[in-house]
Structure 1
Amino acid sequence: MRAARMRAGLTQAEIAASVGITPEVFGRMERGKMLPSVPTLFRLCVALRSGPHELMGFVPPASLPQAAQRQVPPELADTPETRRLLRLMGRLQGLQLKLILRLVLAFLTEPRRPRSQKRNRR
């Protein structure tokens, strides 16, 4: 969000006023301490002339490792567990998020063993 704001040449107070939030709330959003509501995100996109993917800190899928480009199965796309995980991940900082990404990639790239082999390991 900060990069888009700097590119627009605006202060936090100016952006906050233009979208109808306090500068303190915008500052927390910009630092990644809180997520905007969907209507506020839309107003931020308009004010900063940027897409939500940039403002929320998502990278283009092409720049992710191949394993991370897989689609989420439709049956998992909107479950309570997924929403909770996303909400909790919103509290993490840069290095913490990188660690979680590596962990997820390790799960996705680890060869799966048949269940019978897993039981015999004990």
Structure 2
Amino acid sequence: MRQRLSKALGDTARAARQQAGLTQADVAERIGVATEVYGRLERGLLMPSVPTLRRLCVALHLPADKLLALSSTQPPAWAEAPPPPEREGPQMRRLLRHARKLSPHQLRALSLVAATLHREE
């Protein structure tokens, strides 16, 4: 979900910047980041901090809900809801049953393993 949000934000920022007739360097200077950093933001490789997001909205004259693709009545493409529990497969249900029995320390360890496996995809 984070990658889709980053991509949507970057695409919207690029379109707004181009519509305003600004270069990446112009926007980067206005929001107080290096041009390379702003370029990564437009390519969807970087999520801005909240203060930077606010400065970006001001620089591009764009409300935050539009920049985050929240302004339509439809849910944004990046906000995919997880499947309802009844549609999860038996392996996922089994894993959840086991996870619910773990201590906080064991659950933290399982979370780290899962995060590492997810990054390797």
> What TM-score, normalized to structure 1?
0.52
Among 48, 51, 63, the alignment partner of 1:39 is 51
State how 1:1-122 maps to structure 2 within 5 Å: 1-56=13-68, 58-64=69-75, 97=78, 101=80, 104=82, 107-108=83-84
In 2, Cα distance between equivalents of 1:43 and 1:2: 15
- 1:111 deviates by 5.9
Q: Which fold has the larger relative contact order, with Cα–Cα distance below 8 Å and residues 6 or more apart in sequence?
A: 2
- 1:16 deviates by 0.3
In 2, Cα distance between equivalents of 1:31 and 1:55: 14
Q: RMSD across aligned C-alpha pairs, in angstroms?
A: 3.0
- 1:61 deviates by 4.7
In 1, Cα distance between equivalents of 2:86 and 2:71: 26
1:66-89 CA distance string (max 9 Å, x none): xx9xxxxxxxxxxxxxxxxxxxxx
Percent identity of the aligned residues? Answer: 44
> What TM-score, normalized to structure 2?
0.52
Aligned residues: 77
In 1, Cα distance between equivalents of 2:32 and 2:67: 17
Q: Which amino acid aligns with 1:62?
A: T
